[in-house]
Amino acid sequence: MTNAPTTICRYHGDVAEIQLVNPPVNGLGYELRHSLYEQLNRVLGDAGVGAVVLTGAGHMFCGGADIRQFNTAKATMQPMLRDINRLIESSGKPVIAAIHGNALGGGLELAMSCHYRMATTQTRLALPEVKLGILPGGGGTQRLPRLVGLEMALGLIVSGEAMDATQAHACGLIDEIVSGDLLEAALMQARLAAQQAPSSLRVTSALRVRFDGDMDSYFEAQRSRLAQEAPGLPAPLECLSCLKASLTLPFEQALTLERTKVQALLDSPESKELRRQFFARREAS
């Protein structure tokens, strides 16, 4: 019996359930990314599969990147999270995220690439990367504003704070809150979606970012505010730059900018110190 990070595939008729298994938080290290990418390619290419449901093992959906692999070769080994997200979005078969517990960081970015998101009443969602001196690097700065609007996305990304399922449903981040059996509800939704034409799938990257107002004035004011609230910290300002790109650049170009920014931040002394503090707190607790 191996404890290596992996995915488990279960078939429920013509719906494939792919479960993330990497205790304790199903972190998206290289090994889990590789397993998930292989599993998705296999089931999406299976003519007998009409839809896919993504779930997480244990007490949560996914806690995001494996922080222990930051600044190592595994952090950038293919497939990257953005490769998995692109595969899901372009699949032509509905992929449903069934979120229990937390979906944080890359876990939320993974869910945002799915065509439909369902959560339990206890679910919490966040992009907390700024607290480690970085920014969401799996498309979060581009998909989140397309789902909830630019101003709410800015608030979530630069604070790193979590929202509960009710808040997430109200703003459009999730599509449905399930009070009963989450998997059964997700399988039912998957079967319904599989009966629709592939062209009816909602692809987040194709949505237009919601924003009303003078863009230049808005971003200038936000830049001044963030420089005062987080002096000396580059991550909030780089988050702002990526969010502005969601309005000014084509989606793929904005993703490239996001990746460039996150790589530079990972090498910054501020991020390295924040991560050192994070691990120190975890050791102490």
86 touches 104 (CB < 8 A): no
239 touches 157 (CB < 8 A): yes
For residue 18, give Cα distances in angstroms to 41, 185, 283.
Answer: 12, 15, 32
- Going 49 to 51 to 56 to 59, the CA torsion angle's sign is negative
- Going 226 to 232 to 236 to 242, the CA torsion angle's sign is positive
- In the block, tokens 């397993």 appear at 35
Of the candidates 233, 99, 247, the one whose C-alpha atom is nearest the C-alpha of residue 163 is 99
CA distance linking residue 206 with residue 225, whole number of Å: 30
Looking at the annotation, which residues are catalytic? 109, 129
Instruction: Find the length of the chain.
Output: 285
